[in-house]
Amino acid sequence: MTMKVYDLVGADDRRFSPYCWRTRFALAIKGLEAEFIPMQFTQKHLIEFSGQDRVPVLVDGETCVHDSWTIAHYLDRAYPQRPSIFGDKADVGTLRFLNMWADRVVLRGIMPLIIQDIFEHIEPADREYFRTSREKTWGGRIEDIHTERDSRVVGFRKTLEPLRATLAEQPFVSGDQAGYADCMVFSCFQWARVMSDFKLLENDDPIFAWRDKMLDQFSGLAKSEPGYPF
Amino acid sequence: MTMKVYDLVGADDRRFSPYCWRTRFALAIKGLEAEFIPMQFTQKHLIEFSGQDRVPVLVDGETCVHDSWTIAHYLDRAYPQRPSIFGDKADVGTLRFLNMWADRVVLRGIMPLIIQDIFEHIEPADREYFRTSREKTWGGRIEDIHTERDSRVVGFRKTLEPLRATLAEQPFVSGDQAGYADCMVFSCFQWARVMSDFKLLENDDPIFAWRDKMLDQFSGLAKSEPGYPF
């Protein structure tokens, strides 16, 4: 039976959730297929069966798993004969750090820069939910946060310095080849690309070139999703 | 023949260089001994033979290696029968990211907070060198940078969020046990501990507890160096 993944969807079928992209990449690393079921912010009843309200939710036969990190672990455990997402035991710890860095620095850094673009690219029915929840988290109106993005992006680029320094030494975060570490970080840029034309990086930034390479990984998986040029 | 490591030294034989601490930890992971040769900032002639002017420099028989990252790799290559610092190939890439994060975020974040303490804890002969080089890098007088530390430490603590979030999920950065990832990050706190009594972390920060555990690793290697209480 085909696995199912519940996936956040915006207007025009845009699949933008960075966490759901992590699950897409995790499946690609394993060479596994899944049916992606679109869910709008205001359709959380679709995943009520999972006992919580956030995507991605993976359903594999009788098993239901949520949270991209937990899903990746599940896939490695359930399909040990396929390529490993996490590698040996020592890898998992440092990959968790990468996951946290992607969430706390990259994703949280990008959010205020594209918040209005996300608002405009989701279904009208989702806008009230998005505005209320995000304005509470960010302590301000979407439109006001948006006006600060040109100054804010300068600080954001600085916070990427550890990634930049790493990519100056090796082609991918994982080393010679793209691995799940790359996918976790790239998922944040893919999220932005699907929803926003805002220029997050300078063209001569090593992260810019890495991002292009990531679009081509896994037979162009990320590129196959419509989005704005970087 | 015993290996030699050239090591930065302050007043009262304080061994404070975070990079040299990384090499101490790398040797501890391998279970290797080395003689640590003290060098003040103004004694760079001692390592002229290495073709560059920064410590640590490792001398192993006819081989001379500098840079803590390169030294760790050398030790894994030269002593493959001993415990591995880097683990399998996939580990190296993400560990490089950790190394860059430790340098760019932790070390660079701590420097302005303890810069005057370092100045006061090095040999008087080294002070002019330290003042000139560091004031150029930081664009201000040591005393002025020092006065800003109470406000600056707030921002520093925030930048540690990915580490904090990781340690909320697992006891060490490397997972269940302390590994080189932990050592790279901890070396920055050890550097601070040896030179400064400034309170970098709140007592209830999970990083505070992790730091205590790191003092006890490798038979109390870090704790055996005199320093200030955390």
Residue A102: predicted pLDDT: 97
Q: Which domains does chain A have, with CATH numbers?
A: 3-78 (3.40.30.10), 89-219 (1.20.1050.10)
| pLDDT at A87 > cutoff 90 | no
Burial of B219 (0-12, 13-18, 19+ CB in 10 A): exposed
What is the model's pTM? 0.92
- pLDDT digits over B155-213, tens only? 999 999 999 999 999 999 999 999 999 999 999 999 999 999 999 999 999 999 999 99
Residue A134: predicted pLDDT: 97
> Which residues of chain A are within 8 Å of residue B181 when distances are taken between CB atoms?
93-94, 97
- pLDDT digits over B107-118, tens only? 999 999 999 999
- pLDDT digits over A4-34, tens only? 999 999 999 999 999 999 999 999 999 999 9
| pLDDT at A143 > cutoff 90 | yes
| pLDDT at B91 > cutoff 80 | no
Asked if B181 and A92 come within 8 Å (Cβ–Cβ), the reply is no
| pLDDT at A88 > cutoff 70 | no
By DSSP bridging, strand B3-8 and strand B34-39 are parallel
Residue A92: predicted pLDDT: 86
Q: How far apart are CA A52 and CA A45, in angstroms?
A: 10
Asked if A97 and B98 come within 8 Å (Cβ–Cβ), the reply is yes
Q: Which residue in A182, A104, A188, A110 sits closest to A145, CA to CA?
A: A110
Asked if A94 and B90 come within 8 Å (Cβ–Cβ), the reply is no
Give ipTM to 2 decimals: 0.90
Name the interface residues of A facing B (CB cutoff 8 Å).
Answer: 87-98, 100-101, 103-105, 161-163, 165-166, 169-170, 172-176, 179, 181
Q: Do residues A88 and A104 make contact, with C-beta atoms less than 8 angstroms apart?
A: no
Q: Which of A87, A91, A93 sits opposite B170 (nearest CB)?
A: A93
Residue B87: predicted pLDDT: 80
Token output for A21: 């992209």
Give me the mean pLDDT over the B222-226 stretch.
95
